[in-house]
Structure 1
Amino acid sequence: MRIISGLYKGRRITAPKKLPVRPTTDMAKEALFNIINNHYYFDDISVLDLFSGTGNISYEFASRGTEQITSVDANFGCIKFINETAEAFDMNITTIKSDVFKFLEKLKQKHTIIFADPPYDFELDTFSKIPELVFKNELLEDTGLLIVEHSKHTDLSHLEHFSYSKSYGGNMFSFFE
């Protein structure tokens, strides 16, 4: 995986093979950040990266100037890798090792962008808990956006607060406002 733009543009990051991850493809990530770039100034936002895995999305935000980034993952190896990479690149990323659903239940801080990249094999009911918890607990700022990455075979358009979706290859991003 590589960082697409910003201070660390072009830098490659190689995650250990033993991590249980499926990083967002460079093509899909570039398209996603083009959408975000049209709505926000990266240095003015706070980001919550759920199911952060390798930290791919967090690094992209950090490279583009975002200072307030929190990455949450249940896997210790993923959190350790994100911490090591953030330190090597001098990125300001806060990591939290936690079950994402338990974390969302307790979280009180609002964010501009909440990005979730859960396992593609989640049941639809499990996917639906993400926007449900985010909006029930009022975790987005007024102009905030929840983005859920999922397989093109999963349809989240019936969920409350759904706005639109974009498809890139086998990846799909659903946007909730």
Structure 2
Amino acid sequence: MRIIGGRLGGIRLNPPTNLPVRPTTDLAKEALFNILQHKIDWADAQCLDLFCGTGNISFELASRGAAEVDAVDIHSKCLFYVKDMAKKYDFSAINTRKADVFKFVASCKKQYDFIFADPPYDVAQLPQLAHLVMDNNLLKEGGILVVEHPSTRKMQEHATLVETRKYGYSSFSIYEL
């Protein structure tokens, strides 16, 4: 796992192997950020990384200069790793929060410019995730939501869906408000 671009582009991260995660591949992450590079000004962006796991996306956002990155996960070991790496690489923009993501989404009062969600592929609510984010008004006007999901699993239709990109077994559904 490596940081693709920004201040620490090229840095390789080696998370513990005992974390309950399936990190976004470097190839898929690079393709995603190529799509996003002209859509979002990262320097001013308020970002949310749901199911942050190893912090792969959080670190990428912080390296690219995001103003703030809220990293949410239910697993303490994941959050300890994210906190340690954020401190090591001086990513002061990253804030970690231990929470059930679905409860967090339902109670969050903050809005974001960019939201990335990479839930475990077997989570029952995965197809409704875009609806949950939009219904709870987490995305700012002009904001972008990206949900990573297995290519074999369909997301529920939503009016803000712009496109779905497939990268092998994984796909990114991209929503714009």
Shift of 1:74: 0.2
The equivalent of 2:99 in structure 1 is 98
- The answer to whether the aligner puts 1:119 opposite 2:120 as a matched pair is yes
- Per the normalisation by structure 1, the TM-score is 0.95
The equivalent of 1:50 in structure 2 is 50
The equivalent of 1:22 in structure 2 is 22
* 1:31-87 CA distance string (max 9 Å, x none): 000111020111021110000000000000111111210000000000110000000
Gaps of 5+ in 1: none
Q: For residue 108 of structure 1, what is the amino acid of its counterpart?
A: K
Structure 1 distance, partners of 2:175, 2:4, is 24
Say how many residue pairs are matched.
Answer: 175
Structure 1 distance, partners of 2:74, 2:118, is 13
The equivalent of 1:86 in structure 2 is 86
Flag as ranges the 4+ runs of structure 1 deviating above 4 A.
Answer: none
Shift of 1:128: 3.1
- Per the normalisation by structure 2, the TM-score is 0.95
Q: Is the 8 A contact 1:128 1:159 kept in 2?
A: no
Shift of 1:121: 1.6
The equivalent of 2:71 in structure 1 is 71
Gaps of 5+ in 2: none
Structure 1 distance, partners of 2:141, 2:74, is 28
Bigger shift: 128-137 or 72-81? Answer: 128-137
The equivalent of 2:40 in structure 1 is 40
Identity over aligned residues, as a percent?
44
RMSD: 1.1
Q: State the SS of the aligned residue for 2:163.
A: strand
The equivalent of 1:155 in structure 2 is 154
Shift of 1:95: 0.3
